[in-house]
Structure 1
Amino acid sequence: MNNKEIDLHGALKKYFGFNKFKGLQEDVIRSIIDGNDTFVIMPTGGGKSLCYQLPALAKEGTAIVVSPLIALMKNQVDAIRGISAEQGIAHVLNSSLNKTEVNIVKSDIEKGITKLLYVAPESLIKEEYIDFLKSQKISFVAIDEAHCISEWGHDFRPEYRNLRTIIEKIDDVPIIGLTATATQKVQEDILKTLGMSDAKTFKASFNRPNLFYDVRPKTNNINSDIIRFIREHQGKSGIIYCLSRKKVEDIAQLLQVNGIKAVPYHAGLDAKTRSKHQDMFLMEDVDVVVATIAFGMGIDKPDVRFVIHHDIPKSLESYYQETGRAGRDGGEGYCLAYYAYKDIEKLEKFLSGKPIAEQEIGNALLQEVVGYAETSMSRRKYLLHYFGEEFDEVNGLGANMDDNVRNPKVKKEAQAELKNLLEVVKETNQKYKSKELVNTLIGKVNALLKSHKTDEKPYFGSGKNHDDKYWMALIRQALVAGFIKKEIEQYGVVKITDKGLEYIKNPFSFMMSEDHIYSENEDASISVNTKGGGGVADEVLIKLLKDLQKSVAKKNGVPPYAVFQETSLEDMALKYPITIEELKNIYGVGEGKASKFGKPFVELIAKYVEENDILRPDDFIVKSTGENSGLKLYIIQNTDRKIPLEDIAKSKGLAFNELIEEMQRIVYSGTKLNIDYCIDELLDEDQQEEIFDYFMESESDRIQDALDEFDGDYDEDELRLMRIKFISKVAN
């Protein structure tokens, strides 16, 4: 055993109290000690920071650590100071310091006390700091969260792009790039930008076998579903991610009202509050943090037991990074994401204001997220493939730890279809992205296909016996199976692999399962998802309630959905309300509905509960935060005064479709709204009668069905407003 090895293990024990290294740590540290440029890709929880902290402590001079977040630096500096008697062993140099503090930092570096200097890239640009650091002994520069360099990374920071030039100004020292998530595209970008193409690269496995991945449809029931999930994990720590600050505040408030210890965290809060909330979570004074992505980088809490995505993230890297904060101690980690294609459309809309190059990148990343959410194959295999790692879904660690594997969809033979797909990729000269390939297969012309005369080729429309969703699912599964791959330079362009060319010559059985289809209609009634062991609606009771719904509807001469919506019936079969008072707390049931139709329903449920010895979740009333009741009153009063709907929306800062959604909520829960004054301006008497009759006879109140039925005669807003009038008249 040579001295270096003894020193490394001695230093590990001396500074960190560990007897042995984890995973690739030792090889990485040796590479840094030997003065090599080094690139480390290691998932969250893999012990990434130790890779540069230990060599910094062991080598002569000061190591500069570039890090994007002040909170992250503070955490790490505190941790390092905790293992040394010398307060100055680690310092932060950023905009939060005053002149005196900056002088203390400089003095400690000059005396050789400081081994680790944490800086934000913005601070490193300052000439005074560059001049000072030039004159000091620097051991190496570590760039943490190196994916920030790449526009393809999920957290791009323009100031990171310039780091190479700045480092060269300071000294010719080794560079260490570290990231917890990087696709092939991002890896190439990092190495190129840092000018370290011959760096020694170490890549740990991205598989986190203790994490359970679950994707559920995002329905109107999402709030009660989240509360139920948290109550089932009582006393455990969790993070809920939302994409907007407003949503963070709303959800945190909703949880607090329902007796869950939760705090919000987002960049709009002042630094003091953010720091306080972070500490409350770390010290376990609260169980749940509701946050935007501003929260989490460098949060070293090992026992986070669940991570919930209220909104699906903008990229799979973000998703991986955020879910990776669960179960870092190797214990249970439940990753639950709610998905609705409507959210993806919102994100696409948001991108449309950006420069074209940024839009293209953003959309390509979003499509990967859609693929992950909609796939019916092993989510773990899909995710690991995205990061360039093979996974054995039969024997691999954590193989049965996702909803798709636990509840597999039926697989069908797709040998002929796969051969057809691969031939189309080949015949179109491997120049199309997935969307164009699907259009070619189903025979849908667009400008790009026309310009290449693809629509004149014999294979155009050769797959029209299946729909676009089928072909998209097959493309995803063929990618993961290695028959095709996505081009790195022109990202998203599909190329055929040698394995794919071989398959065309000698095809064999290929079993595929079709993707999940999550309804895109906000009124879609999707039963409470039971996959992840969340709350399970009582199927027997639902059947009884549906029969009752039909007979009550018949008696009142209205369609069944006008009595109670399906989502309301499912909520009843979950909470077993046995009084009118309890019924009012069911999703979509207000006072009006409860008193008009409720009696037979609560009687049926009471009888059912008694006969089947059911233990009712009596505490299971999801309380609302009350903020909507003010808005509800405002809408009722102003429609009574016949104020134009556009004006009502504007005065409350709502988009028109948001106002319609709010009005739908009001009438579906049993309160009347009179909006004849605005409908009369849009539609004549005959048109109104035609739509009214349609809703009276229709099996469903879904707007999509109505749009299909009228085939362009009426637009969506007209149908929605008529549905509000209809429910108001016949059901309330």
Structure 2
Amino acid sequence: MTANTPLNILQHTFGYEAFRQPQQDIIDCVCQGGDALVIMPTGGGKSLCYQIPSLARSGVGIVVSPLIALMEDQVNALKELGVNAGYLNSALDLRTAQQVEQDLISGELDLLYIAPERLVQPRTLALLAQAPLALFAIDEAHCVAQWGHDFRADYLSLNILHERFPNVPRIALTATADQRTQAEIVERLSLNNAQQFISGFDRPNIQYRIQQKDKPRNQLLNFLQLEQAGNAGIVYCLSRKKVEETAAWLVTQGYDALPYHAGLPAATRQQNQMRFLRDDNVIIVATIAFGMGIDKPDVRFVVHLDMPKSVEAYYQETGRAGRDGDAATALLLYGLEDVVKLQQMMATSEGSEEFKRHEQQRLSVMLGLCEITTCRRATLLRYFGDELPHPCGNCDNCLQPADTWDASEPVRMALSCVYRSEQRFGASHVIDILRGSDNEKIRKFGHDKLSTYGIGKGLAITEWRSIFRQLVARGYLTVDPNGYGSLILTESCRPILRGEEPIELRKDKATLKAPSVRKRLLDIDEADMGLWNALRRVRKELADEHGVPPYVIFHDATLKEMIEKRPMNDSELLCISGIGDRKLEQYGGEFLEVLREYEYAQD
């Protein structure tokens, strides 16, 4: 047994040579009995910040997680490392749950994952009072924020941990929290004396691309065919119906696509999630019900077919791509209809007026991110209080700068038409008036008699839709959520309408293409592809045998390092990142056999 120091645990249990910043400081803080608030990007190694102190301190680490469906995989991954881990949730039968509880009380467990609603039950708290406790880790801590995009009511009761167990250190962790959410986490979890570790929000390996909807299924298909052949990814949709229709359509196009939303039977959701985690090349089509805590490292793309309702939601969802640090793409397709739909959803929600106003502000910021012409990453990071000193060079606006045009005259036409049609109609009808369409609705309301009828024939429908979308984004028009998407003038449009101010708008651009993306993602020489595929095959066989996703055996980065360094014995294999003592013992022989066979074949 190795010494129980954090560095030894890191090297011998997890197989990594050194800590990343600021892991060492966080782990030292918790090991010494201090509380910590950790804001760290997805893929930055948050889990080690509570797993290692749980192993280094005496007692069991209690991990509070809202992700019942993923606890089993998380626990299985730890068991593969030789860690005594368990979980308590409603999926366990009575006998198994009782055994876990006994292991908890007797101190047999290193880590116990537990859902928040179960944790705060009196019976569970009584069990914890009998157990030796190393720490409490509150994962996905942003769920405590009542203004947040992933609010969980059960998280509001978690301050009871501080009251009942004042001497047990607590660590709250999340990848997504603006300054308001950070303050709410501190207040609601009683973390006023906690050290705060905020290590930045940038995910430089993710390419952010935002495009206007123009036959979105064709846009999605082109993206998959040209850039993502054979890759795993997530496609987000706003409605359950659209999820199912999109997944079914992708299957007809030859893709292994599965739906996921809260309306599906629990067994179907679980099965589809497991397929996504454990099989290669699967595309999951989902509502926002899917994704929090997904550990799959090789998700190469996240596509939004509808606009998220907030920057927090967008950042959280795009962050599920490229957890392994390799290149990944986040593609968002949006249109004015998304704004109308989201505003209607807000108007019919059961939230207070204050909540609805806050949601509207968040939606406006999200729409602003979609419409900016400057670096998207810089704007995204600034929202979270993080600064990027220079343009990122890895977003669509950096790679293909937007063109602008003097839209003063068409904008005046648009605003005037909204005014003359009494601010009672949505963009589609106003565009019909401007373009001089002859249809029943135009005739019914007498809009063919308006002075603005037909004055906009010189612009295409797509150009007019772009104009109205940008006017809403800039606050010159607002959409009435209670009036079927009616466009309403705001006070700020008056100088433009009077001709006192000019206005420039962005030109909608064609889809940004990224040729040779697959080669860039793999970053493997053609001569080594045979070895790469052989290593992946043995990894998949071992994963199926042990009932875990392939990445639990080894990440792609570990296989790539094997190809680069060509270890031929145990000691050389142990020097590969991600291979600790237990994994060397369990899997080393199979991988060394493949490496030796390949080496001999080259001689």
Query: What whole-Å deviation, never above 9, does each CA across 1:23-72 have from its counterpart, x for those lacking one?
Result: 21111111110111100001111111111011001111112111111123
Alpha-carbon contact 1:39-1:201 (below 8 Å) kept: yes
- Corresponding residue of 1:404: 397
- Corresponding residue of 1:227: 221
Q: 1:256 to 1:193 in 2, by over 3 A?
A: same
Within 5 A, what are the aligned runs for 1:495-644? 516=506, 529-533=510-514
Within 5 A, what are the aligned runs for 1:238-387? 238-354=233-349, 355=351, 356-387=353-384
* SS of the residue 1:206 aligns to: coil
- Corresponding residue of 2:10: 12
Alpha-carbon contact 2:309-2:342 (below 8 Å) kept: yes
* SS of the residue 1:305 aligns to: strand
- Corresponding residue of 1:28: 26
Matched, 1:53 2:51: yes
Q: 1:211 to 1:465 in 2, by over 3 A?
A: farther
Within 5 A, what are the aligned runs for 1:71-150? 71-84=69-82, 89-150=84-145
Q: 1:5 to 1:382 in 2, by over 3 A?
A: farther
CA distance in 2 between counterparts of 1:303 and 1:230 reads 16
Alpha-carbon contact 1:312-1:337 (below 8 Å) kept: yes
CA distance in 2 between counterparts of 1:195 and 1:205 reads 23
* SS of the residue 2:202 aligns to: coil
CA distance in 2 between counterparts of 1:277 and 1:74 reads 15
* SS of the residue 1:47 aligns to: coil
Q: 1:5 to 1:189 in 2, by over 3 A?
A: farther
Query: AA paired with 1:403?
Result: D
CA distance in 1 between counterparts of 2:515 and 2:505 reads 22
CA distance in 2 between counterparts of 1:324 and 1:516 reads 27
- Corresponding residue of 1:70: 68
Query: What whole-Å deviation, never above 9, does each CA across 1:248-280 have from its counterpart, x for those lacking one?
Result: 110011011111121112222223222222222
* SS of the residue 1:74 aligns to: helix
* SS of the residue 1:15 aligns to: helix
Query: What whole-Å deviation, never above 9, does each CA across 1:453-490 have from its counterpart, x for those lacking one?
Result: xx9xxx997787789995xxxxxxxxxxxxxxxxxxxx
CA distance in 2 between counterparts of 1:53 and 1:207 reads 24
- Corresponding residue of 2:598: none
Alpha-carbon contact 1:131-1:170 (below 8 Å) kept: no
Query: AA paired with 1:229?
Result: F
Alpha-carbon contact 1:266-1:292 (below 8 Å) kept: yes
Measured after TM superposition, the shift of residue 534 of structure 1 is 8.7
- Corresponding residue of 1:618: none
Alpha-carbon contact 2:139-2:173 (below 8 Å) kept: yes
CA distance in 2 between counterparts of 1:332 and 1:153 reads 28
CA distance in 2 between counterparts of 1:245 and 1:462 reads 43
Measured after TM superposition, the shift of residue 6 of structure 1 is 8.5
Greater relative contact order structure (CA < 8 Å, 6+ sep): 2
Query: What whole-Å deviation, never above 9, does each CA across 1:173-214 have from its counterpart, x for those lacking one?
Result: 222110011101100111111111221011112111111111
Mind listing any 5+ residue stretches in structure 1 that lack a counterpart? Answer: 414-434, 443-454, 471-513, 519-526, 536-732
Query: AA paired with 1:392?
Result: P
Query: AA paired with 1:16?
Result: F
Q: 1:345 to 1:228 in 2, by over 3 A?
A: same
CA RMSD in angstroms comes to 3.1
Matched, 1:211 2:206: yes
TM-score normalised by length of structure 1? 0.56
Measured after TM superposition, the shift of residue 530 of structure 1 is 2.8
Q: 1:515 to 1:100 in 2, by over 3 A?
A: farther
Alpha-carbon contact 2:403-2:506 (below 8 Å) kept: no
Q: 1:382 to 1:515 in 2, by over 3 A?
A: farther
Alpha-carbon contact 1:181-1:320 (below 8 Å) kept: yes
Alpha-carbon contact 2:37-2:172 (below 8 Å) kept: yes
Query: AA paired with 1:530?
Result: T
TM-score normalised by length of structure 2? 0.67
Alpha-carbon contact 1:133-1:170 (below 8 Å) kept: no
Q: 1:125 to 1:410 in 2, by over 3 A?
A: same
* SS of the residue 1:350 aligns to: helix
Measured after TM superposition, the shift of residue 21 of structure 1 is 1.1
Identity of aligned residues (%): 41
Measured after TM superposition, the shift of residue 103 of structure 1 is 1.2
CA distance in 2 between counterparts of 1:107 and 1:278 reads 30
Alpha-carbon contact 1:315-1:369 (below 8 Å) kept: yes
Alpha-carbon contact 2:209-2:396 (below 8 Å) kept: yes
Q: 1:335 to 1:466 in 2, by over 3 A?
A: farther
CA distance in 1 between counterparts of 2:179 and 2:142 reads 11
Query: AA paired with 1:357?
Result: E
- Give the stretch that moved more between structures: 52-61 or 227-236: 227-236
Q: 1:534 to 1:346 in 2, by over 3 A?
A: farther
Measured after TM superposition, the shift of residue 331 of structure 1 is 1.5
Q: 1:200 to 1:256 in 2, by over 3 A?
A: same
Q: 1:369 to 1:51 in 2, by over 3 A?
A: same
Alpha-carbon contact 1:124-1:166 (below 8 Å) kept: no
CA distance in 1 between counterparts of 2:127 and 2:256 reads 47
Alpha-carbon contact 1:262-1:286 (below 8 Å) kept: no
- Corresponding residue of 2:586: none
Alpha-carbon contact 2:236-2:305 (below 8 Å) kept: yes
Alpha-carbon contact 1:93-1:102 (below 8 Å) kept: yes
Alpha-carbon contact 1:374-1:517 (below 8 Å) kept: no
- Corresponding residue of 1:550: none
Measured after TM superposition, the shift of residue 410 of structure 1 is 5.1
CA distance in 2 between counterparts of 1:128 and 1:289 reads 38
CA distance in 2 between counterparts of 1:320 and 1:224 reads 25
Alpha-carbon contact 1:376-1:515 (below 8 Å) kept: no
CA distance in 1 between counterparts of 2:255 and 2:305 reads 17
CA distance in 2 between counterparts of 1:284 and 1:305 reads 14
Q: 1:405 to 1:138 in 2, by over 3 A?
A: same
CA distance in 2 between counterparts of 1:249 and 1:216 reads 23
CA distance in 1 between counterparts of 2:42 and 2:58 reads 28
* SS of the residue 2:180 aligns to: helix
Query: What whole-Å deviation, never above 9, does each CA across 1:632-660 have from its counterpart, x for those lacking one?
Result: xxxxxxxxxxxxxxxxxxxxxxxxxxxxx
CA distance in 2 between counterparts of 1:79 and 1:222 reads 38
Measured after TM superposition, the shift of residue 140 of structure 1 is 1.5
CA distance in 1 between counterparts of 2:502 and 2:300 reads 34
Query: AA paired with 1:225?
Result: Q
* SS of the residue 2:295 aligns to: coil
CA distance in 1 between counterparts of 2:41 and 2:17 reads 22
Query: What whole-Å deviation, never above 9, does each CA across 1:116-139 have from its counterpart, x for those lacking one?
Result: 111111101211111121122222
